[in-house]
Amino acid sequence: MAKTIKATAKKADASRTSRITKTQARKFLAPVPEQYVFWCNDGSLFRDLRELGGALAAMSDQTFAYHCNDVKKDFSNWIRDVVGDTSLARSLESANSRKQAASLVEDRCLLLASKVG
C-alpha cells in the first residue's frame, strides 16, 4: 500500500511539473517589482527565487524561525502571493527546517531553469 501511495504522489508531482510552461517558468524566476521585494528581519532583501534560495542556505536558524513558524509562513506567502508559484509555496509550508526549505527552493529553481532552456 505504501508503495502505491508513493508512486501516486510521484506521478502527481511529475504531472504538476510538466504543466509548467516556458512563460510561467520565466515569470517565476524573474525579479519581482521593487514594491514587492521581500524584506527579511536580518536586513536582507530578496528580489527573486534564486536570491531567496541562496539566503535560506546561509541565514541563521533564528531568522528562519522568525519568518517560518506555526503562526507565520512569510516565505511561502511571498512565493504564492508575489512570485505566483503555488506549488513551491505549498511545499514550503511543510518544510521543517531552513535547510529543507533551501533545498526545496534550489530544486524548484533548477527545474524552472530547465524549462526556460
90-113 per-position pLDDT tens digit: 999 999 899 999 999 999 999 999
Q: Is the pLDDT of residue 14 over 50?
A: no
User: What CA–CA distance (Å, rounded) separates 112 from 99?
Assistant: 20
Q: How many CB atoms lie within 10 A of CB 1?
A: 5
Q: How many CB atoms lie within 10 A of CB 78?
A: 21
CA atoms within a 13 Å half-sphere pointing along the CA-CB vector of 94 = 4
Contacts of 57 (CB under 8 A, 6+ apart): 99, 102, 106
What proportion of the chain, given as a percentage, has pLDDT over 70?
A: 85
- What is the torsion angle, in degrees rounded to the nearest 10, for the CA atoms of residue 39, residue 42, residue 47 and residue 48? -120
Q: Is the pLDDT of residue 15 over 80?
A: no
Residue 8: predicted pLDDT: 44
Domain containing residue 71: 2-116
Cα–chain center distance at 18: 17
How many domains are there within the chain?
1
30-55 per-position pLDDT tens digit: 999 999 999 999 999 999 999 999 99
- Report, as an integer, the average pLDDT of 60-86: 96
Predicted TM-score (pTM) above 0.75? yes
